[in-house]
Chains A and B, each alone.
Chain A
Amino acid sequence: MNIQIRKFYYGDIPEENTGGSTIPQQDSGAQNAWPLWEVFIRSKQGLDHKHAGSLHAADAQMAIENARDVYTRRQEGVSLWVVESTHIHASNPDDADSLYEPAADKIYRHPTFYDLPDEVKHM
């Protein structure tokens, strides 16, 4: 596939137009990059923790505090979980059909499948 994208957008400036204030680089410092963590927030007592985003931290304790500082500045949560991103295992999107499609025809699992006389209220 050989697509040429020539249209430029806000926050999207084409590479060939770079230039000017290029500052010579020494080392990248990449060896000191902190690991990535996923953040889960319980927004209210009684609700599940929900994925909110990610961040970098040197260890779990710092990850929790960073999550507090980054993701709860507007009272978004009452409890936090953090998990180092490398520890998350995801299902393969290519398997989606075989994993999730088979549930589609089991309509008898849903309460609306059953016709009951109106006299039976609330069941």
Chain B
Amino acid sequence: MELIDLEKKFQEKIDKEIKIEPLDWMPEAYRKTNVRQISQHAHSEIVGMLPEGNWISRAPSLKRKAILIAKVQDEAGHGLYLYSAAETLGTSREQMIDDLHSGKAKYSSIFNYPTLTWADMGAVGWLVDGAAILNQVMLCRTSYGPYARAMVRICKEESFHQRQGFESLIVLSKGTAEQKAMCQDAINRWWWPSLMMFGPKDSESTNSDQSMKWKIKRKTNDELRQNFVDMIAEQVKLLGMTLPDPDLKWNEATKHYDFGEINWEEFWNVVKGNGPCNRQRLEARNKAHKEGDWVRAAALAHAEKRKNKLAKQDLAVA
């Protein structure tokens, strides 16, 4: 078949909402875009373990400790599911991890911000997981089958992440004066970076949007960001806290919340590696991987020995 026909057939499938599966023909750019997006998503889950992992040893009650550990562990699972999905496109996990460690591949910039107090655990769950979930729910319908299926599994697991975060903020918001202040401070610090998670404004992009056409992505950055603001602006009232944006107000005409301008200079700086924790995050991942090398080598060597031993036994029996 001619390339042009293949492309036409491919697009027809997409238009008919038929999922693309690993062995199906796909345009090279579709493959590449998916590998990049899925692996960056996977990296985000893995690097995202670090800021929260940071508070596991100091969680203020045994219940909170168990919840936090389970949550951070879930993120490891999410990374694993996503790496697996990307591997179906022919890129090995090892390759993707190398790209992360060398600084070539990116991950969500939000995880380059530090978690300074216990309230950050609540704020991260509520705002960061909350922002991620909007994106992830959309991605459950993405056109690449393995990615969509990974997202379905992830969304099922995510549902407790945001809830536990919000619940722990509720407790703080009803607590001592110090706890209330801690809660407000965390919201103040995490609000803007959460909005940045949705990426640059739609208007920044001038060309035709291939990702939308291919249904890899199904809503624009600004649409998702607006959904998020509308949701959080209501929920924050339940906490009796405020969002650090003087321009935030309900717009009766649009039936949405208006909000202020994001500091894009900060956004691009953090993306480019100048965030407060970029270096530490990558160093931590590099260290874990490097120190794991001899472990992985030993397990392989042992598996090989065991296989040979079994083969010898079989020979002896025969």
Contacts and interface: CB of A to CB of B under 8 A. Distances in A.
- The answer to whether A and B touch directly, with their CB atoms under 8 angstroms apart, is yes
Interface of A: 1, 3-13, 15, 17-23, 25, 28-34, 36, 53-56, 58-59, 62, 70, 73-74, 90, 92-94
Interface residues of B, number: 79
B235 interface: no
B273 A6 contact: no
Contacts of B15: none
A107 to B, nearest CB: 23
B209 A7 contact: yes
A32 B36 contact: no
A28 B296 contact: no
A121 B228 CA distance: 55
B61 interface: no
A53 B23 contact: no
B161 interface: no
Contacts of B205: 6-8
Contacts of A36: 84, 87
Contacts of A1: 3, 7, 27-29
Contacts of B109: 13
Contact of A34 (B23, B197, B221, B296): B296
Nearest to B134: A10
B211 A17 contact: no
Interface string B140-184: 000000000110010001000000000000000000000000000
B125 to A, nearest CB: 17
Nearest to A29: B293
B272 A18 contact: yes
A95 to B, nearest CB: 11
Contacts of A54: 84, 87
B37 interface: yes
